[in-house]
Amino acid sequence: MLDHKLMKDLAMTDDDLNPLVASIFEKQGALDAMKKSEEMVRRFEIGSVVRGKVLSASKNEVLLDLGYKAEGVLSVDEFDDVSAVDAGDEIEVLLEGIDDESGMLLISKRKADKVRGWERLVTQYHEGDTIKGKAVRKIKGGLLVDVGVPVFLPASQVDLRRTIDIEELIGKEIACKILKIDTERRNVVVSRRRLLEEVRDQQKHKLFEELTVGQTRRGIVKNIADFGVFVDLGGTDGLLHITDMSWGRVGHPSELVKVNEELEVQILSIDREKERVALGTKQLKPDPWESVEQKYPPGIKVKGKVVNVVTYGAFVELEPGVEGLVHISEMSWTRRIATPNEVVAIGNEIEVVVLKIDREKRTISLGIKQTEVNPWDLVAQKFPKDRIVEGKVRNLTNYGAFIELEDGIDGLLHVSDMSWTKRVGHPQEMLKKDDVVKAIVLSVDREKKRVSLGLKQLVADPWIEEIPAKFTVGNVIPGKITKLANFGAFVEIAPQLDGLLHLTEMTDNPAAKPEQIVTVGQDLQVMIIKIDKENKRIGLSLKGVPQDSKQ
């Protein structure tokens, strides 16, 4: 509006009026320019997001017109794909400052995207909502996920189990549950695990409605333990116990499966209350014991693998799921085996003979020695009765001596067959270990695996003629006490010939004891009172026999 004081003279000429009007419009233009400048300052406030138009795009940079004759330059690094940018496109950028030298605005597209992303996140999402984004990189404690703004996914919230390598998710789009939104710090924590748990619970409910015992399903191996394998059935994990993995022997589940392997399993049992499912894989194959009697009849010779050795024998696998026991007594016809390890070791491939099958108890008795000829079948031929043999004393016992006739074949020389005349209390009185002796075969018992030998039978029996001719009842002869017993004493009356001096023939005193009357080594005179050729005994007496006073 014009100033009235300046127009009080209405008769002013054009020459007078024009300079005045020009001055007024000049002042008005300056005022408009000032308003535009103020608007531009407000528009370009540091930290604000402004919109610009692409003037040009090259391989290195993108030039923007931000209005009010203001321009800014963006590096191509600000774009995921700069080739998609064309002149005329509108782009939002964050004003970071002004370059004092060039007067160009310093701008960032990525930071503007983050600002808009944060605004969108806090307006569209709340804690508990599901959000999707790309896992961009691994940071301390977890992953950084881009959902328009970077959010934190803790490692503990990545998966249902900690077995996953979180780096495998980098570059992949994943869905998560929002756990926490901190607007002041612009911090968001998300959980992929929480979402997976919700999905799993839904799947579990549906799965338990579908599951039935005997059903065949497919699953993924999620974890392997010493006692079995946990298999994800698509909503819940089932336990595949080691005993249900194979009909054969399994040392450890990892021998048969690996993590993330897909398996076909059978549902063995379902506990809906405890949400437990027992699985099996061996049940998908025929039970080998169903045909074991047809495949392995007693007497058949087969090959197998030693899978275990115990103190009493060895277990041999004939095929997966079918094992038999070779008892230690069935390992050799002749050797005295102290431990099965002397004959076999785990992993050995050996030949065995099936001896017996108990299908109900699932046991098979096997033999190793039966694969060879029983040497005892030939003993009677090689060592017939009355044959004189020679061997080494292998062992002495209280009742006799074992003479080794050949490898694994021993003969027993009993104490009663060592002398016709000497009363042998222990074999060591006649023999010692490793002596080489000759003996005669008395008998062979194939069933009991015994060869009876005699030493005294190598000479004629003196009780038939020699002793009766040399000794007569009533004769008084010299002798020496060799041994005392409760009932009397043994007296040597000739080399290796003893007679019995009973206590009742020593004294008439019933309370007396032999050691009160005689001593071992004592020389004395005795009378022969009895000769028993059948039982090979000579009875002696001291009664009424005068003794030499020097004795």
Please provide the CATH number assigned to the domain covering 376-458.
Answer: 2.40.50.140
pLDDT in tens, the chain (551 residues): 334 443 344 344 445 545 544 454 455 554 444 444 445 444 567 878 888 888 888 888 888 888 767 788 888 888 878 888 888 888 888 888 887 777 778 888 888 888 887 888 888 888 888 999 999 999 998 999 988 888 899 998 888 876 678 888 899 999 999 999 887 788 899 999 999 888 888 888 888 888 899 999 999 999 999 999 999 998 888 999 999 999 888 889 999 999 999 999 999 999 988 889 999 999 999 889 988 999 999 999 999 999 999 999 999 999 988 999 999 999 988 788 899 999 999 999 999 999 999 988 999 999 999 998 888 788 888 888 889 999 999 999 999 999 988 877 889 999 888 988 887 889 998 899 999 999 999 998 887 888 999 998 888 888 888 888 888 898 999 999 999 999 999 999 988 888 999 999 998 888 789 999 999 999 999 999 999 888 888 999 998 888 875 55
Q: Is it true that domain 49-113 has CATH number 2.40.50.140?
A: yes
In angstroms, the CA 227 to CA 260 distance is 18
pLDDT for the residue numbered 148: 81
In angstroms, the CA 528 to CA 511 distance is 24
Q: Is it true that domain 466-541 has CATH number 2.30.110.10?
A: no
Short-list 325, 458, 330, CA closest to 389: 458
**pTM higher than 0.75:** no
Short-list 107, 187, 182, 104, CA closest to 144: 187
Instruction: Quickly name the fold that domain 211-284 has.
Output: OB fold (Dihydrolipoamide Acetyltransferase, E2P) (2.40.50)
Query: Each residue of 88-109: pLDDT tens digit?
Result: 888 888 888 887 777 778 888 8
pLDDT for the residue numbered 189: 93
Strands 409-414 and 400-406: antiparallel
Q: How far is CA 544 from the centre of its chain?
A: 87
Q: Cβ neighbours of residue 33 under 8 Å, at least 6 residues apart? A: none
- Domains 49-113 and 125-196 agree in fold: yes
pLDDT for the residue numbered 200: 83
- Token pair for 276: 């437990």
Short-list 120, 131, 119, 113, CA closest to 180: 131
Is residue 174 within 8 Å of 192, Cβ to Cβ? yes
Alpha helix segments (H runs only) across 159-214: 192-210
In angstroms, the CA 434 to CA 395 distance is 8
Q: Is 167 left (phi over 0), alpha (psi -120 to 50) or beta?
A: alpha
Q: Write down the architecture of domain 288-371 according to CATH.
A: Beta Barrel (2.40)
Short-list 463, 473, 547, 543, CA closest to 509: 543
Q: Which DSSP string do the residues of 406-469 spell out, in sequence order?
A: ETTEEEEEEGGGS-SSS--SSGGGT--TT-EEEEEEEEEETTTTEEEEESGGGS--TTTTHHHH
Q: Cβ neighbours of residue 377 under 8 Å, at least 6 residues apart? A: 446
Q: Write down the architecture of domain 125-196 according to CATH.
A: Beta Barrel (2.40)
In angstroms, the CA 353 to CA 366 distance is 6
AA letter at 87: A
Is residue 304 within 8 Å of 315, Cβ to Cβ? no
Strands 276-280 and 388-396: unpaired
In angstroms, the CA 211 to CA 276 distance is 11
Q: Cβ neighbours of residue 74 under 8 Å, at least 6 residues apart? A: 61, 62, 64, 91, 93, 107, 108, 109
Q: Please report where in the chains the tokens 């968001």 appear, as a residue.
A: 188
pLDDT for the residue numbered 402: 93
Q: Which letter, b or e, does each residue of 424-451 get, where b requires 16 or more Cβ atoms within 10 Å of its Cβ?
A: beebeebbeeeeebebbbbebeeeebeb
- List the chain domain ranges: 49-113, 125-196, 211-284, 288-371, 376-458, 466-541
In angstroms, the CA 53 to CA 73 distance is 11
Q: What is the 3-state secondary structure (H, E, C) of 375-411?
A: CHHHHHHHCCCCCEEEEEEEEECCCEEEEEEECCEEE
Burial label, 2 (beta-carbon count in 10 A; 0-12, 13-18, 19+): exposed
